[in-house]
Structure 1
């Protein structure tokens, strides 16, 4: 219980203390993480910090900030603590078995959008299959940008599917998004204009050397791509043609050094590389394939 003789902490004081503690622990983006934590758990905004830095923060909110800072200092990612992350302008809830969507994956959305819009203009709709949907990030970003599109999100995890459906409802996209439990294409029937995936692509032996925020908090099943990191691409390439409309595309996120290997895998299954996109860091991040002529 807070000592009644002690003045409650101020917003500016909480922000400064949070920044200092995270920076001293060597956490990257200490200032941003502190701000996100303080704003979320105190119910304040950046405008409040500028206009009313001396406003008192109630004891219950200050305690929640303290608990969140301790979790961050222990290595838990800030967005896991908040329970959500922004992706392509959408606020997406996270859960235990969902990969935290990251800015690099927005490149995959950018890779699909022109084709999805052109398909709608030509055919009146665009059917999207999102393999390994997780939070639903990629599918829901595409639906938000292309109102005539529909999407099926596929995952092996019940937790992930429930989270994707929740996000679709929260974003007002539930009427155009459906979820299906399937091990890749095993339970999928019909054909789609777009098959898209951000699959697991970390080589199994590399998982132990990832940043602790990823290694200890992202689901291993969403990271582990097998011995060489390419198992999921082989699975997708082997069956994609049976589920793709004539003229459709397969769009994939890849690890920054995997472009040539993934292209060879798909070439062996009758696909030609149509486009390669780089992320904001300049790394090759998304590949688009079409059936070879």
Structure 2
């Protein structure tokens, strides 16, 4: 299960600002961002592929389903939160044991899958709150978003080390 870290805190600032109406968090981990969204609206759902994360969230009375991205989601949402696994795969480490960190060989593959599917689940005037790392290849993420016919604004860029910056985007049609 993905434990809250500095990226969770950063994205949480914008969840607090933008969460409204119907909210979905993809890859909800511990449910920390869902709890922040619940301060603004009572209609918050989450999805996670990790059984431990789903069980943990359910114990906290959060509405969470087990699935991969949009599996078993059948409605549209006003806000979709996505703090994906965004790091490039480290060949020395097992992908299965670190799926909460690695977004694929280059780091952006999970983001690409998300954007290829999200249109069916986002209300016309809805927004996506996305967080990713400079280690993922910012230009590639930008091109994935544009290729899927979304606009975006960079809400914040936070340098967390000499080698890494975290970006928060709001994506919309």
Q: Verify the 8 A CA contact 1:200 1:222 in the aligned structure 2.
A: yes
Quote the offset at 1:279 in angstroms. Answer: 3.0
Q: Name the SS of the counterpart of 2:134 in structure 1.
A: coil
Within 2, Cα distance between the matches of 1:284 and 1:265? Answer: 17
Change beyond 3 A, Cα 1:224–1:281: closer
Which of 34, 41, 53 is the aligned partner of 1:139?
34
Which structure is larger by alpha-carbon Rg, 1 or 2? 1
Who is 1:127 aligned against?
Answer: 22
Long gaps (5+) in structure 1? 1-97, 120-125, 169-173, 209-214
Who is 2:14 aligned against?
Answer: 111
Q: Verify the 8 A CA contact 1:104 1:279 in the aligned structure 2.
A: no
Q: Deviations over 1:75-114 (max 9, x none)?
A: xxxxxxxxxxxxxxxxxxxxxxx11210232111222332
Who is 1:248 aligned against?
Answer: 126
1:13-32 map, 5 Å: none
Q: Deviations over 1:224-250 (max 9, x none)?
A: 211100111011101111100111111
Question: With CA pairs under 8 Å and 6+ residues apart, which has the higher RCO, 1 or 2?
Answer: 2
Who is 1:191 aligned against?
Answer: 76
Who is 1:288 aligned against?
Answer: 170
Who is 2:157 aligned against?
Answer: 278
Within 2, Cα distance between the matches of 1:207 and 1:269? Answer: 33
1:1-293 map, 5 Å: 98-116=1-19, 119=20, 126-143=21-38, 145-146=39-40, 148-166=41-59, 168=60, 174=61, 177-205=62-90, 208=93, 219-257=97-135, 258-279=137-158, 281=160, 283-291=165-173
Pick the structure with more helix per residue. 1
Pick the structure with more strand per residue. 2
Q: Deviations over 1:40-98 (max 9, x none)?
A: xxxxxxxxxxxxxxxxxxxxxxxxxxxxxxxxxxxxxxxxxxxxxxxxxxxxxxxxxx1
Give the length in aligned residue pairs: 168
Q: Verify the 8 A CA contact 1:266 1:272 in the aligned structure 2.
A: yes
Within 1, Cα distance between the matches of 2:155 and 2:134? Answer: 11
Quote the offset at 1:207 in angstroms. Answer: 6.3
Q: Deviations over 1:168-216 (max 9, x none)?
A: 3xxxxx3xx31111111121110001111111111113664xxxxxx9x
Long gaps (5+) in structure 2? none
Q: Verify the 8 A CA contact 1:259 1:287 in the aligned structure 2.
A: no
TM-score by length of 1: 0.53
Superposition RMSD in Å: 2.2
